[in-house]
């Protein structure tokens, strides 16, 4: 009888421990769901917002929502509460569903990247191209573009031959600024596009402008550019 009683007591203790373990596990799952398990809830816009937009009306109209982002992928100054948008005016375009940084607002006190907002590890490089090379002037600040270069194939004696190739120089580049200057002599206006480039990519762009021909293609919002195989004139005529 005593042995039987002891066995029951042990069984009850084990059952109690199992119950506690399940309770702690459930609490851990709930905590992970609440904290995101390394995820952070950030504020995003439902639609694209152009520069110079006052956000109060959009806040009141429910134009913003939230999404979870891995903590390691958060941008500097990210907005996590829609109340942070009240009284703000955008200095740069905000794309739908992208993280919103406080550096996008007019009058921001953040100095990271300087007045152009150059990302860390990048340089700002300006190019001036004809309208057809910059999507007819449709490119705006905050857009992403793909850069292409066309080059002459060197001849056997080192001189430039007739064969050419066009290749992707940089598949995805952010536009920092776009400005237009009107020639005082009445000539055609010039459009200057300033790009955020890694130093080596900047060298490639400068070389292409000096020795070849540079083109830009505008990427759709939230779509990344890709590196494609070069097109060679001597392959096209085979």
- Measured distance CA(198)–CA(147) in Å, rounded: 13
**What pLDDT, on the 0 to 100 scale, is given for residue 24?**
60
Q: Are residues 127 and 108 in the same domain?
A: no
Percentage of the chain exceeding pLDDT 90: 36
Q: Is 53:103 a contact under the CB 8 Å cutoff?
A: no
- 8 A C-beta contact, residue 165 and residue 153: yes
Phi/psi at 64 (nearest 5 deg)? -120, 150
Give the residue from 112, 137, 170 where a domain finishes. Answer: 112
Q: Give SS3 for 158.
A: coil
What mean pLDDT do residues 6-27 have? 60
State the Rg of the chain over Cα: 28
Q: What angle do CA 174, 93, 67 make, to 5 degrees?
A: 90
Of 212, 136, 214, the closest CA to residue 173 belongs to 214
Query: Domain boundary at 112, 135, 167, which?
Result: 112
Q: Evaluate whether residue 176 is within a structural domain.
A: yes
Which range of 54-63, 158-167, 174-183 scores highest in mean pLDDT? It is 54-63
Mean pLDDT of the 215-236 span: 86
Residues 210-225, mean pLDDT to the nearest whole number: 91
pLDDT-above-70 percentage for the chain: 72
Could you tell me the two tokens for 112? 């990271």
Q: Write out the two tokens for 178.
A: 């776009």
For residue 55, being part of any structural domain is answered with yes
Signed CA dihedral, 28, 33, 35, 39: sign only = positive
Number of domains forming the structure of the chain = 2
Q: Looking at the structure, tell me whether residues 142 and 190 fall in a common domain.
A: yes
Residue 15 has pLDDT above 50, yes or no: yes
CB-count burial class (<10 Å; 0-12, 13-18, 19+) for 136: exposed
> Could you tell me if 129 and 217 lie in one domain?
yes
pLDDT score recorded for residue 52? 87
pLDDT of residue 106: 76
Tokens of 168: 């992707």
End-to-end CA distance of the chain: 97
Same domain, 129 and 107: no
- Least-confidence region, from 24-33, 43-52, 72-81, 128-137: 24-33
Among 112, 140, 162, which residue terminates a domain?
Answer: 112
85 and 46 Cβ atoms separated by less than 8 Å: no
What is the structure's pLDDT at 28? 57
Which tens digit of pLDDT belongs to each residue from 89-102? Answer: 998 889 999 999 88
Residue 34 has pLDDT above 50, yes or no: no
d(Cα 147, Cα 167) in Å, to the nearest integer?
Answer: 9
pLDDT band at 18 (very low <50, low <70, confident <90, very high): low
Mean pLDDT of 62-71: 92
Task: Assess whether 135 and 96 both reside in one domain.
Answer: no
71 located within any domain: yes
Question: What is the CATH number for 100?
Answer: 3.90.1210.10
* pTM assigned to the model: 0.51
State whether 225 and 132 are in the same domain: yes
Instruction: Residue 69: give the domain boundaries.
Output: 39-112
Q: Which residues, including other chains, have CB under 8 Å from residue 63's CB and lie 6 or more apart?
A: 45, 46, 47, 49
Q: Is 15 within a domain?
A: no
Task: Report if residue 22 sits inside a domain.
Answer: no
Cα(219)–Cα(188) distance, rounded to whole angstroms?
26
**Average pLDDT for the chain:** 81
How would you label 103-131 residue by residue, b for 16+ Cβ within 10 Å and e otherwise? bbbeeeeeeebeeebbbeebebbebebee
Report pLDDT for 127.
Answer: 93
pLDDT number for residue 197: 95
Q: Is residue 3 part of a domain?
A: no
Same domain for 172 and 193?
yes
Average pLDDT for residues 54-60, to the nearest whole number?
A: 91
Mean pLDDT (whole number) for 58-67: 93
136 plus 229 within the same structural domain: yes
Residue 86: is its pLDDT beyond 60? yes
Bigger pLDDT: 151 vs 113: 151
């Amino acid at each position: 009888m005593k042995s039987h009683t002891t066995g029951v007591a042990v069984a009850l203790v084990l059952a109690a421990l199992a119950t506690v373990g399940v309770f702690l596990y459930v609490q851990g799952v709930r905590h992970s769901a609440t904290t995101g398990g390394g995820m952070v809830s950030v504020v995003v816009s439902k639609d694209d917002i152009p520069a110079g937009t006052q956000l109060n009306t959009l806040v009141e109209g429910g134009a913003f929502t939230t999404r979870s982002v891995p903590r390691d992928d958060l941008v500097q100054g990210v907005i996590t509460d829609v109340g942070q948008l009240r009284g703000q005016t955008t200095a740069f375009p905000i794309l739908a569903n992208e993280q919103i940084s406080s550096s996008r607002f007019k009058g921001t006190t953040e100095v990271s990247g300087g007045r152009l907002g150059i990302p860390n590890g990048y340089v700002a490089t300006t190019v001036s191209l004809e309208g057809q090379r910059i999507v007819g002037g449709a490119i705006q600040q905050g857009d992403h573009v793909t850069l292409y270069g066309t080059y002459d194939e060197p001849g056997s004696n080192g001189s430039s031959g007739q064969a050419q190739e066009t290749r992707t120089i940089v598949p995805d580049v952010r536009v920092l600024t776009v400005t237009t200057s009107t020639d005082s002599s009445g000539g055609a206006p010039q459009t200057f596009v300033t790009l955020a480039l890694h130093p080596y990519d900047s060298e490639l762009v400068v070389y292409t402008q000096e020795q070849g021909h540079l083109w830009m293609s505008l990427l759709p919002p939230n779509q990344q550019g890709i590196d494609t195989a070069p097109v060679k004139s001597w392959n096209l005529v085979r």
